Amino acid sequence: MLKMTHLSKVYRTEVVETYALRDFNIDVKEGEFVAVTGPSGSGKTTFLTIAGLLETFTGGEYHLDGVEVSNLNDNARSKIRNEKIGFIFQAFNLIPDLNVFDNVEVPLRYRGMKAPERKQRIMDALERVGLASRAKHYPAELSGGQQQRVAIARALAGSPRLLLADEPTGNLDTQMARGVMELLEEIHREGATIVMVTHDPELATRAQRNVHVIDGQVVDLAEDPRFHQHQSRAGAPA
Amino acid sequence: MEIKPILAALRQHKAGTILIAMQIALTLAIVCNALFIIQQRVAHLSEPTGIDEPNIFVIQNEWVGKVTSAEADAKLRTDLDVLRRVPGVQDATTSNSYPLRGGGWDDGVRLSAEQIEDTSDATIYFADERFLDTLGLKLAAGRNFRADEIQPMSTRDRLAPPVIMVTRALADKLFPNGSALGKTVYLVGGPATIVGVVDLLQAQSVARWASNFAYRSVIVPRRMAIAEGAFYIVRTQPGQLEPAMRAARKALFADNPRRVWDEREGILSFAEVRSAAYESDRGMAVLMGIISLVLLAITAAGIVGLTSFWVGQRRRQIGVRRALGATRGDILGYFMTENLLISVGGAVAGALLAIAMNLWLVTRFEMHRLSLLYVLAGVLLLLLLGQGAVLAPAIRASKVSPVEATRSV
């Protein structure tokens, strides 16, 4: 479903080159629920933005659902984002000027879907996250947990092949976070492929598989000394 | 195009939306009326006099000292002889006035002696038998004056010529159902028979008060025989205007230096006459043009400013839309459509306001009714202006990267 091979992302200025990702390799199979963890600055968010085609990469290969994406133009990337990827952001990223219904409708409109189908999908998605009754509410009228549920409904409405979640519970209290995680697990059980970026090890344990990123590379937790150094600095048991 | 969500979003930004729509409405109302005024003034500027303007110049001559009517008439005829001998001059005539002069003798024309109300107002032009040829006027019907019909007229004489010529516009007004030739009309001094109809001759004033008889003139067989002098109208051979003007001045002063010419208006080419006659119209058209341009520029700047502010404010939102699948074209289209919706709202209000403003001007300043074509043209202009103004900020918005969606607030 998602396969990156020797992928690199370099930020260049006139005087310095910074590798955000270096020789990055990952293979997520269809139906998997993978948690990508790592300390701040390790490159996990860069991985997510590249995985979601939000930005380009410098070298290597990236196949998404069997398509090599490195040579796609901006419009083609937009189309793939719209049709194959569902995003769940830490800050929910709902559009404050639009009500819940209109927010969920945004990606469907960009797909050029007819109104009756859009309405059906929106209501199904809102039913699924338990917010059908709040369709006419504006984001500011909802709690953080409800806003994230709307964001999940927006991600699900387009029936994406891949769900990318960036710290989906990062802005929520424990109880709301639990609810959102249970929802993601449920969605996974129904067959969705989910890649979740988090710095929270406890959340990561809820995923099927953990991928750890340090210094822009995927590492084997048991063997990589950088992991042990990091754990020592953080005061955690090695 | 996503009109419904754009309208929903605009409802959340009522203040900015209403302000810009109001600015568009007010600009449209003023610009429509200003353009209409400009068009009217320009049309006014282009109205024909009916005379051979490129080859005509006029002289305002005044005699020095005490001069009797008979002496004045003799001097005037001598002057005309002198002028006709000037190299490059085709012919010369004299009158009490000429088209576009700005003032002169206007009087009422009646169809019977008992009639109290005039049938029409008309400009009175004095003319000799060479008046038509000198001005390049076309006789539409009847005949020109004979030399023996031309009489000198002093300030003590009544205007009672036995024969007159009229312009076609006056003839049509006086006798809409038949020929004016041979008919008798009544001037201030008594009856006169129409012997000729001149095709086109503009009145001496182009002011609003004279607009209802702009082309209605009576041509009388009279010469101004007064010490205050008269106007000489001179027609030159094509291309000889300037040298003939210089030579005419020299010849007249050489023949008789006891005359006074105004420094500025003593001798004028007809182009100068036309320019002076329409100075206020030109000024008004330019002023209205400047006002329109300034208003359009302010409105465009307002649209650019508000859209730039909204783009800055919605960077993250644009990033989210891009992340959810919007192409650059979709984002560009969003802002263009948003502006179009605001502009259409403003334009509808502006069209109504333009018509209301014009109705007020019609009743208050006797302006003409605004043609709906101007409203439509104004609406189109404002919509294009809006789209043009929003283009740069919209392009900036379309360049916002989708990765903006992942940035921390």
- Chain A residue at shortest CA distance from B12: A97
| Confidence tier at A222 by pLDDT (50, 70, 90) | low
Task: Say how many C-beta atoms besides its own lie within 10 A of residue B337's C-beta.
Answer: 18
Pull the structure tokens for residue B222: 């009279």
In a domain, B274, yes or no: no
Contacts of A82 in chain B (CB under 8 A): 324-326
Using a CB–CB cutoff of 8 Å, tell me whether B320 touches chain A.
yes
**Do both B94 and B236 map to the same domain?**
yes
Contacts of B328 in chain A (CB under 8 A): 74-75, 78
Alpha-carbon distance B403 to nearest alpha carbon in chain A (angstroms): 5
Q: How far apart are CA B88 and CA B334, in angstroms?
A: 70
**Do both B139 and B26 map to the same domain?**
no
**Do both B200 and B299 map to the same domain?**
no
Q: Are B176 and B170 in contact (CB under 8 A)?
A: no
A194 three-state secondary structure: strand
Choose the final residue of a domain: B257, B272, B301: B257
Using a CB–CB cutoff of 8 Å, tell me whether B403 touches chain A.
yes
The pLDDT score that the predictor gives to residue A221 is 62
**Do both B88 and B128 map to the same domain?**
yes
Q: How far apart are CA B161 and CA B222, in angstroms?
A: 8
**Do both B41 and B76 map to the same domain?**
no
| Percentage of chain A lying above the pLDDT 90 cut | 64
DSSP string, A67-84: EE-TT--HHHHHHHHHHH
**Do both B103 and B231 map to the same domain?**
yes
| Confidence tier at A237 by pLDDT (50, 70, 90) | very low
The pLDDT score that the predictor gives to residue A231 is 54
In a domain, B273, yes or no: no
The pLDDT score that the predictor gives to residue B271 is 95
Partners of B102 in the β-ladder: none
Q: Between A and B, how many CB-CB pairs are < 8 A?
A: 87
The pLDDT score that the predictor gives to residue B102 is 87
Question: What's the number of CA atoms in the CB half-sphere (13 Å) around residue B20?
Answer: 29
Going from the C-alpha of A81 to that of each of A77, A107, A111, B304, B387, the distances in angstroms are 6, 9, 10, 31, 29
Pull the structure tokens for residue B321: 């839309």
Of B330, B401, B409, nearest to A110 by CB-CB distance is: B330
**Do both B236 and B89 map to the same domain?**
yes
Contact B5 A105 (CB under 8 A): yes
What angle in degrees, to the nearest 10, is found between the helix axes of B315-323 and A74-84?
A: 70
**Do both B12 and B74 map to the same domain?**
no
Interface test with A, best of B324, B335, B404 (most A CBs within 10 A): B324
Contact B406 A95 (CB under 8 A): no
Burial grade of A135 (CB within 10 A; 0-12, 13-18, 19 or more): middle
**Do both B287 and B241 map to the same domain?**
no
Contact A89 B406 (CB under 8 A): yes
Number of domains forming the structure of chain B = 2
**Do both B175 and B91 map to the same domain?**
yes
**Do both B237 and B286 map to the same domain?**
no
In a domain, B229, yes or no: yes
Partners of B127 in the β-ladder: none
In a domain, B86, yes or no: yes
Q: Which residue has the higher pLDDT, B229 or A22?
A: A22
Alpha-carbon distance B343 to nearest alpha carbon in chain A (angstroms): 20
Nearest to A160 by CA among A53, A27, A5, A75: A53
In a domain, B245, yes or no: yes
**Do both B194 and B236 map to the same domain?**
yes
Containing structural domain, residue B163: 65-257
In a domain, B58, yes or no: no
pLDDT, tens only, A92-132: 999 998 999 999 999 999 999 999 999 999 999 999 889 99
Choose the final residue of a domain: B257, B291, B323: B257
| Confidence tier at A179 by pLDDT (50, 70, 90) | confident
The pLDDT score that the predictor gives to residue A225 is 56
State how far Cα B292 lies from the chain centre: 18
Partners of A37 in the β-ladder: A212
Q: What is the pLDDT along chain B (409 residues), one digit of tens a residue?
A: 578 888 888 888 888 899 999 999 999 999 998 888 888 888 888 889 999 999 999 999 998 888 888 999 999 999 999 999 999 999 999 999 999 998 888 899 999 989 989 999 999 999 999 999 999 999 999 999 999 999 999 888 888 899 999 999 999 999 999 899 999 999 988 899 999 999 999 998 888 777 788 899 999 999 988 878 889 999 999 999 999 999 999 999 999 999 989 888 899 999 999 999 988 888 988 998 999 999 999 999 998 998 898 888 889 999 999 999 999 999 999 999 999 999 999 999 999 999 998 888 888 876 788 888 889 998 999 899 999 999 999 999 999 999 998 876 5
In a domain, B269, yes or no: no
Contact B5 A102 (CB under 8 A): yes
In a domain, B33, yes or no: yes
Task: Kindly calculate the radius of gyration of chain B based on its CA atoms and give it in whole angstroms.
Answer: 32
Contacts of B329 in chain A (CB under 8 A): 75
The pLDDT score that the predictor gives to residue A236 is 45
User: Residues for chain B: how many in total?
Assistant: 409
Interface test with B, best of A84, A95, A156 (most B CBs within 10 A): A95
